[in-house]
Structure 1
Amino acid sequence: MEEEFKWLLQEEVHAVLKQLQDILKEASQRFTLPTSSSGGAVKQENFVLSTSGTDQVKGVLTLQGDALCQADVNLKMPRNNQLLHFAFREDKQWKLQQIQDARNHVNQAIYLLMNRDVNYQFKTGSEVLKLMDAVMLQLSRARNRLTTPATLTLPEIASSGLTKMFTPALPPDILVNFYINLNKLCLTVYQLHVLQPSTTKNFKPAGGSILHNPGAMFEFGNQRYEVSHVHKVECVVPWLNDALVFFTVSLQLCQQLKDKISVFSSYWNYRPY
């Protein structure tokens, strides 16, 4: 009876591993996107930026896999209603590190699942649990890269290569930052004003944050600035939502298998770590 149970559990483990492989391959394909009909490079997708608030910022972003290959942005300056237009230079594109990292973690999870012979027999429940833990770690990291944007200081944003991407060049009182938040590609525009020496007695530089609020201060290039206005606009990227769903389903499958192994561990010579 025990041998029969072991065999049945082996079958279930391999079935779950195959199901996980299929789901994660689908997730990985979302990050590369289908190629164009000509069979060339990854296709480009255009997304219109929008916000639930004012229309101070409008624009269109062009995404090609993990690269933002064009950003065409209009900014209405609140002080004088002057309209600024800036776009990526034709020779520039901005790599979205969050998408790159998430894809790499998914591919590492796939490697862990496939790194054995199809007829491999797991010897203990502990061996399966360790595999599930390793896969879940990669999936959690992939999900976290999309759900948790990096915290940056304002000087880090100011010194980013992103500031040199645009034509015409960004004015010195404008900072921009792009990032992924869940299934959305976000653009934040910061308008600054220079702090005069007479007004810097209460100067307190802001720390790292995903989004800085008006009033945040920082020093850059021997000059002190304060954020006067913040505009955040975003666009939904459907295939990022697909990927997040695949991560959730895969993590649930891993946990269900772990729970089953733990419940029936006495049948399978389970030994704790």
Structure 2
Amino acid sequence: MLPGRLSAAFSIFLVANLYFQFRPKKILYQNLSGLKVSAGCILLQVCSSAFPPGGTLLRVRSAAGPRQRGNDLTAENGSVALVLQSEMAAASEAERAVLEEEFKWLLREEVHAVLKQLKDILKEASRRFTLSPSGSECQTRQENFKLGSSATDQVKGVLTLQGDALTQADINLRLPKHNQVLHCTFREDKQWKMQQIQDARNHVGQALYLLNSRDQAYQFKSGAEVNKLMDAVMLQLTRARNRLTTPAAMTLPEVASSSLMKMFTPSLPGDVFANFYINLSKLCLIVYQLHLLQPNLNKNFKPAGSSVLHNPGSMFEINNQKFEVSHVHKVECVVPWLNDTLVFFTIALQLCQQLKDKISVFSNYWNFKPY
């Protein structure tokens, strides 16, 4: 039979040995603190001390009752501390070496594989803005879209979209106030630039430029460098997506003074405004009918602020005259390649985030910091 203290120490040694043999992966043994043995009477503590130099001092004491000098087990009166210290150091160094090799492989191989995927995806997205039906890039495709298919629609027409520009518009407006159908088209010398599409395409181009600045031969030196590149690419992709999903808000005076109002022939009536915008994968046309407010109603005048769509009852002032929106007509059509582009943006953003998550694993769960 072993003396009581040596028997307890031997039990601790066996428990610790079993723990380190069958320990879960990815645990920082250096941070072990407050581990209770199953018997419920022994508490292991790892304390920061200069024993040995650069190492730690392991003490074993009773979990219950006041701490007594005779219950402390150190290297001077036992070998448990040194054995556990050695086990921890060996395991830590071996797993750190494996992680370092895995991280080097990630920087050398995996990062470039993801960058190639991103380039291919964004090239496809970029082609959606310019390709002709035949697939050549020498000519921007031209597509016709029909507006208003219901018999109750007050606005109908056909729009021709070529890249980021509306090149033709043939619109019929059925306005009860005028008791007639107004037919108007774009002037032959005019095109309406869809700024949202142009901006989205420019952001895709910026993202591709960033990716192409790191060719296959480039060696990434740290996780922080990879994250910085991913953050820059994700910023451009997020801006591109936001331009297609979030139309610009405008005030009614801004709509009235837009150069779009000068593109139609014959000109739109003075009490009719129009505006085009992109919302997700849809090309939208808004037509506002107005009526002039009487001077005696000025005390109730409340000008409307900026909005994508102004509701009936919205008021505004222009050229010292006050108007109120009496009717709002909205028609839209789906642009299939815009939907494809949004899908590409989502996939690319997910790839960027997944690569960042892989990088973070090495810093969040281990004391190995590639930054």
SS of residue in 1 equivalent to 2:132: coil
Larger RCO, structures 1/2 (Cα 8 Å, 6+ apart): 1
Q: Tell me by how many angstroms 1:35 deviates.
A: 6.3
Which consecutive residues of structure 1, in runs of 5 or more, have no partner in the other structure?
none
CA offset digits 1:25-59 (Å, max 9, x no partner): 10011111226689863121000013779311101
After TM superposition, what 4+ stretches of structure 1 lie above 3 angstroms from structure 2? Answer: 1-4, 35-41, 51-54, 265-269
Question: Within 5 A, what are the aligned runs for 1:179-190?
Answer: 179-190=277-288
Output the CA distance in 2 between the equivalents of 1:130 and 1:46: 42
**Number of matched residues?**
271
Partners of 1:188 and 1:201 lie apart in 2 by 29
Q: How does 1:153-232 map to 2 (within 5 A)?
A: 153-232=251-330
**Equivalence for 2:224:** 126
Question: Which residue in the other structure is 1:95 paired with?
Answer: 193
Q: State which drifts further: 13-22 or 112-121.
A: 112-121
| Aligned residues of 1:51 and 1:233 also touching (Cα < 8 A) | no
How far, CA to CA, are the matches of 1:229 and 1:31 in structure 2? 34
Change (3 A) 1:2 1:36: closer
Which residue, 319, 322, 345 being the options, matches 1:247? 345
Change (3 A) 1:188 1:51: farther
Distance in 1 of aligned mates of 2:136 and 2:112: 38
Conserved in 1, the CA contact under 8 Å of 2:130 and 2:139? no
Output the TM-score relative to the length of structure 2.
Answer: 0.70
Partners of 1:41 and 1:17 lie apart in 2 by 29
Whichever residue aligns with residue 115 of structure 2, its letter is L
| Residue 160 (structure 2) aligns with | 62
- Distance across 2 between alignment mates of 1:12 and 1:270: 16
Q: Tell me which moved more, 180-189 or 45-54.
A: 45-54
| Residue of structure 2 equivalent to 1:41 | 139
In structure 2, the residue matched to 1:6 is 103
Which of 212, 216, 222 is the aligned partner of 1:114? 212
Larger radius of gyration: 2
The 3-state SS of whatever aligns with 2:302 is coil
Q: Deviations over 1:3-41 (max 9, x none)?
A: 532342121110000000000010011111226689863
Give the percent of matched residue pairs that are identical in Structure 1 and Structure 2: 73
In structure 2, the residue matched to 1:20 is 118
The answer to whether the 8 Å contact 1:6/1:267 transfers is: no
Letter in 1 for 2:209: Y
The match for 2:129 is: 31
**1:58–1:75: 8 Å Cα contact kept in structure 2?**
yes
Q: 2:181 aligns with which of 83, 93, 109?
A: 83
Q: 8 Å contact 2:174–2:182 — kept in the other structure?
A: yes
The residue that corresponds to 1:142 in the other structure is 240
For residues 267 and 126 of structure 1, the distance between their equivalents in structure 2, rounded to whole angstroms, comes to 16
SS at match of 2:128: helix
Report the Cα offset of residue 264 of structure 1: 2.0
Q: Unaligned stretches of 5+ in structure 2? A: 1-97
Length-normalised TM-score, structure 1: 0.94
Amino acid across the alignment from 2:345: F
How big is the alpha-carbon RMSD for the aligned residues of Structure 1 and Structure 2?
Answer: 1.9
Q: Deviations over 1:87-128 (max 9, x none)?
A: 101110000000010001011001111102321111111111
